Structure 1
Amino acid sequence: MDTLLAIPRRLYDLVLAHCLAERPHEAVGFLTGRQGVVRRAVAVRNAHPDPVRRFRVDPVDALVALRPVEAGDEEWIALYHSHPDSVAYPSPRDLALAEVWQARGPAGGPAFLFIVSLASHPPDARAYRLAAGRDPAPVPYRKLDLPDGEWLDLR
């Protein structure tokens, strides 16, 4: 199976650190870049009233995080979030929310859903391709040993 998603190891590590720091709450953020290669990871606030079991992206954070996408400088690659106590597989709530993001987000929304499970040690991170009316399809990804990539923390 071909790799469809690549993320600099430094950004991958920062995403995992963000997820661990938010535990027991769900963490949430965005991955942007070009052609499946992540160039930027943005941690945003979980604005859901029940952040232990659900997430909601703060709307102001979303505007800031996705500004390069709106400007056409980057593509929205993935919405990432954590599962503090369950496996790295999209829940029905995740899929419903992803459909909303795909319909309303810039450039049609994210291509992937990136989930970090904190139920195991080390954390288990998995990516899924989302398509309307279909089950989420697992997507292989690779970590790049490159120093580039921008981290933005809006929390």
Structure 2
Amino acid sequence: MGMRVEISRSLVDELLRAAAASPGAEICGLLLGGAGRIEAILPAANVAADPAHRFEIDPATLFAAHRAARAGGPRIIGHYHSHPTGSAEPSPRDAEQAIGGEYWLLLGGGAARLFVATRVGAIAGRFEAVAMAH
């Protein structure tokens, strides 16, 4: 049996709406939670030089989330981003950026899919699929 992570249907729907509302640029943000559970999302500005084809989470949002986690708030367990003209599958560019251990929630084509980055994975060489339990 594969890995499963809990996430509310309302959070997934919120992300799908945000992705649909941004057809010309990738949306992105952080996934917050704990073991086996995504409890919240933290939207961030995409500060990439080419946001139509790349994402870069605003460093100010990232630093603030780390500070909040150190103060007892929810911890960062991954991130999300959209593929405005693609599918909810990891791209070769995603594989290049994957570190390992973090969740990647991808949005594209009206779908949302969750992955975990690994050193060597079945998907794009760096990811394994994760089932989302609602």
TM bracket (short chain)? 0.7 to 0.9
Asked whether 1:27 is paired with 2:27, we answer: yes
Structure 2: segments with no counterpart, 5+ residues: none
TM-score, length-scaled by structure 1: 0.74
Match of 2:115, as an amino acid?
A: Y
- Per the alignment, do residues 70 and 93 of structure 1 end up closer, same or farther by CA in structure 2, a change over 3 Å counting? farther
Distance 1:88 1:78 in 2: 16
Who is 1:141 aligned against?
A: 132
Question: SS of 1:47's equivalent?
Answer: coil
- Cα shift at 1:3: 5.1
Return the structure number with greater relative CO, CA threshold 8 A, min gap 6: 1
8 Å CA contact 1:36–1:77 kept in 2: the answer is no
19-28 or 50-59: bigger deviation: 19-28
Who is 1:128 aligned against?
A: 115
Who is 2:16 aligned against?
A: 16
Higher helix share: 1
Identity of aligned residues (%): 30
Who is 1:114 aligned against?
A: 105
Distance 2:66 2:21 in 1: 23
TM-score, length-scaled by structure 2: 0.85
**Over aligned residues, Cα RMSD in angstroms?**
1.9
Match of 2:93, as an amino acid?
A: R
Who is 2:56 aligned against?
A: 56
Distance 1:98 1:63 in 2: 19
Who is 1:68 aligned against?
A: 68
8 Å CA contact 1:80–1:114 kept in 2: the answer is yes
Distance 2:65 2:75 in 1: 12
Who is 1:150 aligned against?
A: none
